[in-house]
């Protein structure tokens, strides 16, 4: 499938939800069958076993692969950052993109360590989205074009994609999305992001409350996305949708990437079944959001960096799961006695 960045109207994006492939139950069955024959006590590889099955189910392969894994990092600028809702100034987004290019960020080290591809997608960094307290982040054409751009991350034969993002102010935007989707109070969804102090946290909750108040009773998830932003979240919505269409499993990183998954989930809950949640971020509300999505994260390492760092670590575990499943000998091949076999009589010379 080729996706044009020239811009799909929202209706075309909605239509994709009717065409999404489902789980490949035959592949899942083959994987469970082989798993039972591998040289280990049944169930002893724990979650590695369920990860191998999940990969095969969504890749549609009895022998899942992780040969071309990619961490896709989306970077965007946010008008709301000018309100002092972050501990860092907005120009850090640009500077960190340069740092990604020169190999100096945390995600670079993880991708090198685990031999993962890394691609950074810049989303009009010089043109921040409007301040969502005052105005919509995007118009429909721009939002749809950004979703289409994110779909491009699924190309070139990659077989696993991890989502990452960079954007000063985007934990406020993600909190606004969760507040709009799930209600409650703004304070339920905001956290300290890059480390705002108490005054910054109060400003952030007020800004999120005002932005969500501005969009009123908007309930359509794509409209919530369009009105609250940001571009990196829209692009990641595109990657999640394209991953599903193209049978490329997706690893969601932390709080901000989960906002993209939450939009897709709100459109159709099972449309994120091909997504793995890498970790529970230390950003305060992430655990509550994961509960809303009914998903248990793989890891809980106290990470709150973004950039796809948690997704990269989770990708290494998925790769371990696929490698054990693919490479291990069966009891029959290796001549290892199975559980409950009669002991062999001692050999006499």
Ligand X SMILES: O=C(O)c1ccc[n+]([C@@H]2O[C@H](COP(=O)([O-])O)[C@@H](O)[C@H]2O)c1
Ligand Y SMILES: Cc1cc2nc[nH]c2cc1C
Q: CB of 32 within 8 A of CB of 326? A: no
Residue 254 has which token pair? 């932390």
Residue 11: helix, strand or coil by DSSP? Answer: helix
Choose from ligand Y, ligand X, none: what does 152 bind? Cβ within 5-8 Å by kind: none
How many residues sit in the footprint of ligand X (CB under 6 A)?
A: 23
Choose from ligand X, ligand Y, none: what does 304 bind? Cβ within 5-8 Å by kind: ligand X
Binding of residue 306 to ligand Y (CB under 6 A): yes
Q: Residue 90 CB, nearest distance to ligand X (Å)?
A: 9
Binding of residue 173 to ligand Y (CB under 6 A): no
Binding of residue 125 to ligand Y (CB under 6 A): no
* Residue 134 is a catalytic residue: no
Q: CB of 301 within 8 A of CB of 106? A: no
Binding ligand Y (rule: CB under 6 A), the pick from 92, 210, 299, 320 is: 92
Q: Residue 12 CB, nearest distance to ligand X (Å)?
A: 29
User: What are residue 336's phi and psi, to 5 degrees?
Assistant: -100, 130
Q: Residue 279 CB, nearest distance to ligand X (Å)?
A: 8
E strand segments, 188-309: 250-252, 275-277
Choose from ligand X, ligand Y, none: what does 27 bind? Cβ within 5-8 Å by kind: none
Binding of residue 168 to ligand X (CB under 6 A): yes
| Nearest alpha-carbon partner for 274 in 45, 60, 1 | 60
Binding ligand Y (rule: CB under 6 A), the pick from 7, 20, 28, 88 is: 88
Q: CB of 158 within 8 A of CB of 72? A: no
Count Cβ atoms below 10 Å from residue 3 Cβ, excluding itself.
22
Burial tier of 186 (Cβ tally within 10 Å: 0-12, 13-18, 19+): buried
Binders in 187-216 for ligand Y, by CB under 6 A: 194
Look at the block and give the residue holding tokens 């896709």. 72
What letter would DSSP give residue 39? Answer: S
Cβ closest to ligand Y, residue 265 vs residue 286: 286
Q: Residue 150 CB, nearest distance to ligand Y (Å)?
A: 18
Sign of CA dihedral 197, 280, 97, 136: negative
Q: Residue 205 CB, nearest distance to ligand X (Å)?
A: 13
Binding of residue 84 to ligand Y (CB under 6 A): no
Binding of residue 304 to ligand X (CB under 6 A): yes
Binding ligand X (rule: CB under 6 A), the pick from 45, 163, 283, 314 is: 283
Cβ closest to ligand Y, residue 69 vs residue 90: 90
**Interior/surface letters 10-22, b for 16+ CB within 10 angstroms, e for the rest:** beebeebeeeeee
Segment lying near ligand X (by CB under 6 A), choices 32-40, 63-71, 205-213, 301-309: 301-309
Segment lying near ligand X (by CB under 6 A), choices 104-112, 304-312, 317-325, 335-343: 304-312
What letter would DSSP give residue 42? Answer: T
Report which secondary-structure segment, H or E, holds 256: helix 255-267
Tell me the C-alpha distance between 278 and 254, whole Å: 7
Burial tier of 349 (Cβ tally within 10 Å: 0-12, 13-18, 19+): exposed
Q: Residue 305 CB, nearest distance to ligand Y (Å)?
A: 5
Catalytic one of 140, 307, 338, 342: 307
Q: CB of 173 within 8 A of CB of 229? A: yes
> DSSP assignment of 171-207, as one string?
HHHHHHHHHHHH-S-HHHH---TTT--HHHHHHHHHH
Binding of residue 166 to ligand Y (CB under 6 A): yes
Binding of residue 306 to ligand X (CB under 6 A): yes
Cβ closest to ligand X, residue 59 vs residue 86: 86
Q: Residue 242 CB, nearest distance to ligand X (Å)?
A: 21
Which residues are part of the catalytic machinery?
A: 307
The footprint of ligand Y (CB under 6 A) covers 88, 92, 96, 166, 194, 305-307
The footprint of ligand X (CB under 6 A) covers 86-88, 165-172, 193-194, 253-256, 281, 283, 304-307
């Amino acid at each position: 499938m080729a996706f044009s960045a020239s811009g799909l109207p929202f209706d075309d994006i909605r239509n994709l939800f009717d065409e999404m492939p489902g789980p490949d139950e035959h592949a899942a069955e083959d994987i469970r069958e082989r798993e039972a024959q591998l040289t280990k006590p049944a169930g002893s590889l724990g979650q590695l076993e369920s990860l191998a099955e999940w990969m095969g189910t969504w890749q549609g392969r009895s022998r899942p692969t992780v040969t071309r894994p990619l961490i896709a990092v989306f970077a965007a600028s946010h008008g709301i950052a000018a309100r002092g809702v972050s501990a860092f100034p907005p120009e850090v987004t640009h500077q960190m993109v340069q740092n990604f290019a020169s190999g100096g960020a945390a995600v670079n080290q993880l991708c090198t360590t685990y031999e993962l591809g890394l691609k950074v997608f810049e989303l009009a960094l010089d043109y921040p989205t409007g301040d969502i307290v005052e105005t919509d982040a995007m118009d429909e054409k721009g939002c749809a074009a950004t979703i289409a751009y994110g779909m491009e991350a699924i190309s070139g034969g990659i077989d696993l994609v991890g989502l990452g993002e960079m954007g000063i102010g985007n934990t406020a935007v993600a909190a606004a999305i969760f507040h709009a989707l799930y209600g409650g109070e703004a304070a339920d969804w905001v956290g300290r992001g890059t480390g705002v102090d108490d005054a910054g946290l109060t400003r952030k909750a007020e800004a999120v409350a005002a932005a969500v108040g501005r969009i009123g009773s908007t309930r359509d998830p794509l409209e919530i996305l369009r009105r609250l932003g940001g571009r990196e979240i829209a692009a990641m919505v595109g990657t999640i949708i394209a991953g599903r269409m193209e049978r490329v499993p997706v690893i969601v990183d932390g709080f901000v990437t989960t906002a993209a998954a939450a939009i897709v989930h709100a459109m159709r809950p099972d449309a994120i079944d091909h997504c793995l949640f890498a970790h529970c971020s230390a950003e305060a509300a992430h655990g509550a959001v994961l509960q809303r999505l009914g998903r248990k994260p793989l890891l809980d390492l106290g990470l709150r960096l973004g950039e796809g760092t948690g997704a990269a670590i989770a990708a290494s575990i998925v790769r371990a799961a696929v490698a054990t499943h693919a490479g291990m000998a069966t009891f029959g091949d290796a001549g290892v006695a199975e559980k409950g076999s009669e002991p062999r009589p001692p050999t006499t010379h």
